[in-house]
Chain A
């Protein structure tokens, strides 16, 4: 079973992006949450602030350590996941659904080109492509 959904795009820093029009939902991957271990604290940018591609957008802290989360795309933060701030373990339990971090209005669609496809991300983390879908 692959832990890299086919309908998302990825960064080398282990963030994922789900696109709907010019809105990008951003989170961290299954691989990232597994490496971090139990997430106990999440710090996210305020609504209305802007994030820049490759710059830190916030922090995810596990029991062991704090890790920066890097913005895979630039844009204005239109929503942050209040539930994940209250219940940081959602990042572990549901990294691609309930554990999303922020929604961003895309500033530059050209930046999408720099993201990894699911297959590229799979090879980046050393996971073999799913056989038979």
Chain B
């Protein structure tokens, strides 16, 4: 694809000025890394903090009296139980019980919900939501009007507090609960700030009007510079999420995988009605024939699509693999037959015609606050 056809976020010029290496991602021109490199960016997030431009992600607003109930029927997790100012991770599934997308639903106001979806799925999700919507619910695709920054890492709260005025005078950034969301002004711009992320660290996601994103981005970088905050590209976003064992749509999950085998059964509230519920309940009843397992690979880097081998036979497939900078090992996620997903099982990954030894290990590979 030629870069001329790609979408650009409002921070495009900032990335170029910072030396970001721009690549195509889901139809967008995004920085995969800055001159510091993926490993240094990864370490900055684990040790201090980093700032990400996630403006490519999709944002859908559902408003109106029936919005909460409609989302509760669309999303696998307990949306009906969300209080104002709370967010929850969940799945959009189809009637077959396989995964259309993974999303976070934010209850911003009593009848105003924000659903954040993957950029690669945004138009598909919009159609899916629309097809299952009741009358009286207003659906707005605000993807091209909503910029999204993430500030992630142990120093994220201190940095955010220094650039933010919260709408509720008594509230503080430090006191915002995990998966909490609150209205604020960040660097002078109106924003929603949520304590959510995709790195395995403490952190925040900041939703901003498209044309007001540059100010807060610059303010956060300026305020955080002395504390070690640097911009983070998609490369480190992937190594961070993989160490934290977060699923990536298109890798661990897609419309051929069900939540049970993907290890996302915990996101499915099976005692309520939602699209795909019956099929997922049956899958759970049957028990999965395959499961996502965490692997440590000794002597090569496993990559998406590599075969997992046992006794010279292919038994599974790597969904994601990389070198994990914090764990200091080559790590991977892979679908393997359920009996082989047991911790400690020895398998191999076929890398360039060679069977490289690998072992099933506990995930997440990295837990917050643990040094490597």
Give the interface of A toward B (CB within 8 A).
37-38, 40-41, 43, 59, 61-66, 89, 92
Q: Tell me, yes or no, whether B38 is within 8 Å of chain A by CB.
A: yes
Query: Mask for B18-58, Cβ within 8 A of A = 1, else 0?
Result: 00000000000000110001111000000000000000000
Which listed residue (A38, A59, A63, A89) contacts B352, Cβ 8 A?
Answer: A59
A-B CB contact pairs (8 Å), 15 listed = A37-B33, A37-B37, A37-B38, A38-B38, A40-B301, A41-B300, A41-B301, A41-B323, A59-B352, A61-B301, A63-B239, A63-B325, A64-B32, A65-B303, A89-B39
A64 to B320, CA, bound (A): 11
A115 to B40, CA, bound (A): 35
Task: Using A59-B352, A64-B32, A64-B38 as known contacts, say yes or no to A40 and B300 having CB atoms under 8 A apart.
Answer: no
Contact A40–B303 (Cβ < 8 Å): no
Contact B39–A63 (Cβ < 8 Å): yes
Contact A40–B235 (Cβ < 8 Å): no
Which listed residue (A40, A43, A59, A92) contacts B323, Cβ 8 A?
Answer: A40
* Closest-CB distance, B200 to chain A (whole angstroms): 17
Report chain A residues within 8 Å CB of B33. Answer: 37
With both beta carbons as reference points, the residue of chain B lying nearest to A65 in the complex is identified as B303
Contact B32–A38 (Cβ < 8 Å): no
Task: Count A-B contacts at CB 8 Å.
Answer: 39
Report chain A residues within 8 Å CB of B352. Answer: 43, 59, 66
With both beta carbons as reference points, the residue of chain A lying nearest to B37 in the complex is identified as A38
Contact A37–B235 (Cβ < 8 Å): yes
* CB-contacts of B318-372 with A (<8 A): 322-323, 325, 330, 352
Report chain B residues within 8 Å CB of A41. Answer: 300-301, 323, 330
Give the interface of B toward A (CB within 8 A).
32-33, 37-40, 235, 239, 300-301, 303, 322-323, 325, 330, 352
Report chain B residues within 8 Å CB of A66. Answer: 301, 303, 352
**B interface secondary structure, majority:** mixed
A41 to B33, CA, bound (A): 19
With both beta carbons as reference points, the residue of chain B lying nearest to A63 in the complex is identified as B38
* Closest-CB distance, A65 to chain B (whole angstroms): 8
* Closest-CB distance, B39 to chain A (whole angstroms): 4
Report chain A residues within 8 Å CB of B39. Answer: 38, 40, 63, 89
| A-B pairs, 10 with minimum CB distance | A40-B323, A38-B39, A63-B38, A61-B301, A38-B37, A41-B301, A38-B38, A37-B37, A37-B38, A63-B323
* Closest-CB distance, B361 to chain A (whole angstroms): 18
A89 to B322, CA, bound (A): 15
* Closest-CB distance, A60 to chain B (whole angstroms): 11
17 additional A-B pairs beyond A61-B323, A63-B239, beta carbons within 8 Å, are A37-B38, A37-B235, A38-B37, A38-B38, A38-B39, A38-B40, A40-B301, A41-B300, A41-B301, A61-B300, A61-B301, A62-B38, A63-B235, A64-B32, A66-B303, A66-B352, A89-B39
Contact B300–A63 (Cβ < 8 Å): no
* Closest-CB distance, B45 to chain A (whole angstroms): 14
Most buried by B among A61, A63, A64, A66: A63
A38 to B253, CA, bound (A): 28
Most buried by A among B37, B235, B301, B303: B301
A92 to B99, CA, bound (A): 40
Task: Using A37-B235, A41-B301, A43-B300 as known contacts, say yes or no to A63 and B322 having CB atoms under 8 A apart.
Answer: yes
With both beta carbons as reference points, the residue of chain B lying nearest to A61 in the complex is identified as B301
With both beta carbons as reference points, the residue of chain B lying nearest to A62 in the complex is identified as B38
A37 to B21, CA, bound (A): 10
* Closest-CB distance, B150 to chain A (whole angstroms): 19
* Closest-CB distance, B243 to chain A (whole angstroms): 12
Most buried by B among A40, A61, A62: A40
A37 to B19, CA, bound (A): 14
* Closest-CB distance, B20 to chain A (whole angstroms): 13
A40 to B40, CA, bound (A): 13
Report chain B residues within 8 Å CB of A61. Answer: 300-301, 323
A49 to B38, CA, bound (A): 34
A132 to B39, CA, bound (A): 36
* Closest-CB distance, A55 to chain B (whole angstroms): 14
Report chain A residues within 8 Å CB of B330. Answer: 40-41
With both beta carbons as reference points, the residue of chain A lying nearest to B323 in the complex is identified as A40
Report chain A residues within 8 Å CB of B32. Answer: 64
